[in-house]
Amino acid sequence: MSAPFFSIIMPTYNRREGARRCLEALGKQTLDLSDVEVIVAVDGSTDGTAEYLRSLSFPYAMTILELDNGGAGGARNAAAAKAEGRFLAFTEDDVDPCRTWLAQAYEILKEDQWDVLEGHTGYPGSQTSVRQFEPTLRPSFIPCNLFVRKEIFAALGGYSPDFYDRKEHLYFREDSDFGFRLLAAGARVRVESTLVVIHPLQFHKMSGCFRHARRYCFDPLLYKRHPREYRDFIEAKTFGPVTIHRPQHYVALGDFFALIATIGGVVAGSPTVAIAGAGMVLLCGWLFRYKYQGIRSLRLYLLPETVGFTVLPFVYLAAVVRGCLKYRVVGVLV
């Protein structure tokens, strides 16, 4: 039997229903599924995900790996080591690939002109990308809609385990680190906006926003390894024709100084300074909220969220400072 063209790799952790829905969507692809294998990397799951998925039946060859909490990057690496396909097709357990996802990718990749193919990851009923404020057709290497030639993945050693904190179960920027290494290796990269997977809306709960903000502790490590790419890819955000560098970072710094002004105004008995400082704190918190929730950020009547987002910039700054201390780098702060 010849090797499959695609090895679809999906890590999962305590999200078995999401994994089932994604696997069912893969079973409805228009591509001949005899040319596909699926490898599910169950990473440190405690809810019986592996047993549950083994009890299901799908119209393609599926392998389930059970791993011991190595993070999403480690799970992808373990699955890639077992893969036999010509291309590794990375997806995740909370997305819904469109029916032509694999067929379109096959038509693009079959001629061997590309080493890496990235599609569009959007929200339900919207053309909006999950990577807002990014320049059009610039690769971001999101591993829920990413195809990579197996030989190149192996040659680069896959995803770095350094972007995972086992103790706190945090991971971040391992995809950017891998993408920057792909570019440095001269990989031929194509971004195709018609290659779509749908991601559910994110950040409904403050706990998820706080957890995400804590992940920025890995930014200093990414900057240390790829300073130029960090400046060009991570920092630069587009707002129509305007490019702004690190708006989130400078909003957080503004929030910090606004809080100092508020406290100083209270201590000095200057209500004007205190009120102005408090107003700036609220504005910075709303700007952070807009980053996470988009148009939903206008729901100011949800007071717990409104208050929570005034705190979030400080959580972000604390995470970045923690990363600077851990990885001994300060350039990312300015």
Q: pTM of the entire structure?
A: 0.93
Q: Give pLDDT tens digits for 127-180.
A: 778 887 777 678 999 999 999 999 999 999 999 999 999 888 899 999 999 999
Kind of pairing, strands 96-97 and 236-239?
Answer: unpaired
Q: Is residue 275's pLDDT more than 90?
A: yes
The mean pLDDT value for 203-222 works out to: 95
Tell me the CA distances in angstroms from 185 to 31, 112, 169, one per residue in order. Answer: 30, 17, 30
Contacting residues for 37 by C-beta, under 8 A, at least 6 apart: 4, 6, 7, 8, 60, 61, 62, 63, 83, 84, 85
In the chain, where the domains are located: 6-201, 236-333
The domain made up of 6-201 is a member of CATH 3.40.47.10: no
The mean pLDDT value for 201-223 works out to: 94
Could you tell me the pLDDT band of residue 241, with boundaries at 50, 70 and 90? confident
